[in-house]
Amino acid sequence: EMTIGFSQIGSESGWRAAETTLTKLQAEERGINLKFADAQQKQENQIKAVRSFIAQGVDAILLAPVVATGWDAVLEEAKDAEIPVVLLDRTVDARDDLYMTAVTSDLVHEGRVAGQWLTDSVAGKDCNVVELQGTTGSSPAIDRKNGFEQAIADHANLKIIRSQTGDFTRAKGKEVMESFIKAENGGRNICALYAHNDDMAVGAIQAIKEAGLKPGQDILVVSIDAVPDIFQAMAAGEANATVELTPNMAGPAFDVLEAFFKDGILPPKWIQTESKLFTQNDDPLKIYEEKKNLGY
Amino acid sequence: MNATSSEVLYRAEGVSKRFPGALVLDGVDFILRRGEVHALLGENGAGKSTLIKCLTGAYRRDGGTLLLDGESIDPRGTQEAQGLGIGTVYQEINLLPNLSVADNLFLGRQPRRFGLVSTAAMRRAARGILAGYGLDIDVAADLGSFSVAIQQLIAIARAVNLSGKVLILDEPTASLDAQEVGTLFAVVRDLRARGLGIVFITHFLDQVFEIADRITVLRNGRLVGSKPTAEMSRVELVTMMLGRALEQETHSRAPQPEISGAAVAEFKGFGKAGKIAPFDLTVRAGEVIGVAGLLGSGRTETAEVLFGVERADSGEARVGAKAVSLTSPRAAVAQGFGFCPEDRKTSGIIADLSLRENIALALQARRGWSRPLSRREQNALADRYIQALDIRTSDREKPVGLLSGGNQQKAILARWLALNPSFLILDEPTRGIDVGAHAEIIRLIEGLCAAGMSLLVISSELEELVVYSTRILVLRDRAHVAELTGSDLTPDQIVHAIAADGSGQAGA
Amino acid sequence: MKARFLPLAATLLIFLIAYAACYLQYPNMLSTRVVGNLLTDNAFLGIAAVGMTFVIISGGIDLSIGSVIAFTGVFLAVVLDSTAIHPLAAFVLVLAITTTFGGVMGAIIHYLEMPAFIVTLAGMFLARGMAYVLSVESVPIHHDFYGLLQGLYYRMPGGGRLTLIGGLMVAVFLAGILLAHRTRFGSYVFALGGGVPTARLMGVPVARTTIAIYALSGFLAGLAGIVFSLYTSAGYSLAAVGVELDAIAAVVIGGTLLTGGAGFVAGTLIGILIMGLIQTYIIFDGTLSSWWTKIVIGLLLFSFILLQKALVWASESDRAVLRRRLLRSKALR
Amino acid sequence: MIAAAQAALRRFVPQLIALATILALNALVFPGFFDIEFQNGRLYGSVVDVLNRGAPVALLAIGMTLVIATKGIDLSVGAVMAIAGAVVAATVAGGASLATALLFAAAAGIACGLWNGFLVAVLGMQPIVATLILMVAGRGIAQLITEGAILTFNHQGLIFIGSGAFAGLPMPVLIWLALGAAVTLAVRRSALGMLIEATGINRRASTLCGINSLVLLLAVYAVSGFCAAVAGVIIAADIKGADANNAGLWLELDAILAVVIGGTSLLGGRFSIVASLLGAMIIQSINTGILLSGFPPEFNLIIKAAIIVVILVMQSPAVQTLYDFLRSPSEVPTETPRQLPGEAEAPESLGRPQ
Ligand SMILES: Nc1ncnc2c1ncn2[C@@H]1O[C@H](COP(=O)(O)OP(=O)(O)OP(=O)(O)O)[C@@H](O)[C@H]1O
Ligand SMILES: Nc1ncnc2c1ncn2[C@@H]1O[C@H](COP(=O)(O)OP(=O)(O)OP(=O)(O)O)[C@@H](O)[C@H]1O
Ligand SMILES: [Mg+2]
Ligand SMILES: [Mg+2]
Q: Can you give the residue range of the structural domain that contains C276? A: 3-325
In the predicted model, what is the mean pLDDT of residues C104-108?
Answer: 96
Would residue C99 count as lying in a domain? yes
Residue nearest to atom 22 of ligand 2 (CA): B300
Cα separation of B102 and B127, whole Å? 8
Confidence of residue B360 (pLDDT cuts 50, 70, 90): very high
Nearest ligand to residue B347 Cα:
2
CA B105 to ligand 2 center in whole angstroms? 21
Q: Which residues surround ligand 3, an ion (CB under 5 A)?
A: B 49, 91, 404-405
Any D CB within 8 A of B366 CB = yes
Query: What is the overall mean pLDDT for chain B?
Result: 87
Would residue C333 count as lying in a domain? no
Cα separation of A260 and A274, whole Å? 23
Q: Is the CB of B48 under 6 A from ligand 1?
A: yes
Cα separation of A161 and A130, whole Å? 6
B49, B76, B145, B276: best to mutate for the C interface, most C CBs within 10 A: B145
CA B292 to ligand 2 center in whole angstroms? 14
B428-464 tens-digit pLDDT: 888 888 888 888 888 888 888 888 889 999 988 888 8
User: Within chain D, where are the H helices?
Assistant: 2-29, 46-53, 55-69, 77-93, 98-117, 127-146, 156-163, 171-189, 192-201, 203-208, 213-238, 251-261, 273-293, 300-315, 317-327
Q: How many CB pairs under 8 A join B and D?
A: 116
B405-432 tens-digit pLDDT: 889 999 999 999 999 899 999 998 888 8
pTM of the model: 0.90
Residue nearest to atom 5 of ligand 2 (CA): B145
**pLDDT value for B248:** 59
**Shortest CA distance from A48: residue in chain C:** C41
Q: Is the CB of B459 under 6 A from ligand 2?
A: no
A214-270 tens-digit pLDDT: 999 999 999 999 999 999 999 999 999 999 999 999 999 999 999 999 998 899 999
In tens digits, chain D (354 residues) has pLDDT values of 566 677 778 888 889 999 999 999 999 999 989 999 888 788 889 999 999 999 999 999 999 999 999 999 999 999 999 999 999 999 999 999 999 999 999 999 999 999 999 999 999 888 988 999 999 999 999 999 998 889 999 999 999 999 899 989 999 999 999 999 999 999 999 999 999 999 999 999 999 999 999 999 999 999 999 999 999 999 999 999 999 999 999 999 999 999 999 989 888 999 999 999 999 999 999 999 999 998 898 898 899 989 988 888 888 878 877 777 776 544 433 333 333 333 333 333 333 333
Q: Do C200 and B77 touch (CB under 8 A)?
A: yes
Burial string for D155-183 (b: 16+ CB within 10 Å, else e) reads beebbebbbbbeeeebbbbbbbeebbeeb
A190-218 tens-digit pLDDT: 999 999 999 999 999 999 999 999 999 99
Nearest ligand to residue B294 Cα:
2
User: What amino acid is encoded at B440 in this protein?
Assistant: E
Query: What is the overall mean pLDDT for chain C?
Result: 89
CB B143 within 8 A of CB B154: yes
**Can you tell me which atom of ligand 1 is nearest the CA of B22?**
5
- Min Cα–Cα distance to chain D from B62, Å: 6
Give partners of D (≥3 CB pairs < 8 A): A, B, C
**Shortest CA distance from C285: residue in chain A:** A35
Sheet containing B63-68: order of strands: B22-33, B8-19, B63-68, B71-73
**Can you tell me which atom of ligand 1 is nearest the CA of B218?**
21
In the predicted model, what is the mean pLDDT of residues C221-238?
Answer: 94
Residues of chain C contacting residue D257, judged by C-beta atoms under 8 Å apart: 118, 121
- Using a 10 angstrom Cβ sphere, with 0-12 exposed, 13-18 middle and 19 or more buried, the burial of residue A268 is exposed
**Count of structural domains within chain C:** 1
- Min Cα–Cα distance to chain C from D1, Å: 33
User: What amino acid is encoded at C41 in this protein?
Assistant: D
Q: Is the CB of B406 under 6 A from ligand 1?
A: yes
**pLDDT value for C208:** 95
Which CATH fold would you assign to the domain B248-336+422-508? Answer: Rossmann fold (3.40.50)
CB A198 within 8 A of CB A225: yes
**Can you tell me which atom of ligand 2 is nearest the CA of B347?**
29
**Shortest CA distance from A229: residue in chain D:** D152
**pLDDT value for B439:** 81
Q: Which one of D140, D256, D341 has the shortest CB-CB distance to C112?
A: D341
Nearest ligand to residue B292 Cα:
2
**Least confidently predicted of B188-192, B244-248, B398-402, C187-191:** B244-248
Among C324, C326, C328, C330, the mutation site with the greatest number of ligand 2 atoms within 8 A of its Cβ is C324
Would residue C331 count as lying in a domain? no
Confidence of residue C116 (pLDDT cuts 50, 70, 90): very high
- Alpha-carbon dihedral sign for residues C17, C18, C24, C28: negative
Nearest ligand to residue B431 Cα:
1
Q: Which residue has the higher pLDDT, C4 or B461?
A: B461
Burial string for D25-44 (b: 16+ CB within 10 Å, else e) reads bbbeebeebeeeeeeeebbb
Region(s) of chain B under CATH 3.40.50.300? 8-98+142-232, 248-336+422-508
CATH of domain B8-98+142-232: 3.40.50.300
CA A22 to ligand 4 center in whole angstroms? 70
Q: Do chains D and A touch (3 or more CB pairs under 8 A)?
A: yes
**Shortest CA distance from A55: residue in chain C:** C33
The CATH number for C68's domain is 1.10.3470
Cα separation of B469 and B491, whole Å? 12
Pairing assessment for the beta strands B8-19 and B63-68 based on DSSP bridges: antiparallel
